[in-house]
C-alpha cells in the first residue's frame, strides 16, 4: 500500500466494522477498502444546483417573467426533478 489514512469512527460504526471483519474473515482495512471502492464506483448523486444551473445567469431563458418569479421556477424544477 502506498498511502496510510487515519479515520476516526463513532463507537457504533467501529463495532459494526469489527463485526463485519470477523464475519467476512477479512481485516478491517480490507473491509474499508472494499466499501470505499464500492461507494466511489457508484454514480455521484446529482446536487440540487445541477437541476437549475441552466436557469442561473441566463439572458435568454425563454421565460419572460423569470426575474419576477425566479423562486417559483426554481422550486418547481426541484420538485419535478428537472
Residue 4 placed within a domain: no
Whether 15 and 34 map to the same domain: the answer is yes
For cell 463507537, the residue is 11
Residue 52 placed within a domain: yes
Residue 33 placed within a domain: yes
- Decide if 2 contacts 33 (C-beta within 8 A): no
Q: Look at the chain and report how many structural domains it folds into.
A: 2
Residue 5 placed within a domain: no
Residues with Cβ within 8 Å of residue 54, at least 6 apart in sequence: 61
Is pTM beyond 0.85? Reply is no
68, 71, 73, 75 alpha-carbon torsion, rounded to 10°: -170
- Helix ranges (H only) for 1-82 are 11-24, 28-41, 48-52, 70-80
Predicted confidence (pLDDT) per residue in 4-23, tens digit: 999 999 999 999 999 999 99
Predicted confidence (pLDDT) per residue in 31-45, tens digit: 999 999 998 888 766
Find the domain containing 75 and state its range: 48-80
Amino acid at each position: 500500500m502506498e498511502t496510510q489514512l487515519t479515520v476516526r469512527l463513532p463507537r457504533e460504526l467501529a463495532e459494526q466494522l469489527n463485526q463485519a471483519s470477523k464475519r467476512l474473515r477479512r481485516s478491517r482495512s480490507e473491509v474499508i477498502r472494499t466499501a470505499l471502492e464500492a461507494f466511489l464506483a457508484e454514480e455521484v448523486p446529482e446536487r440540487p444546483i445541477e437541476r437549475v444551473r441552466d436557469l442561473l445567469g441566463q439572458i435568454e431563458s425563454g421565460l419572460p417573467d423569470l426575474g419576477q418569479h425566479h423562486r417559483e421556477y426554481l422550486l418547481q424544477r426541484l420538485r419535478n426533478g428537472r
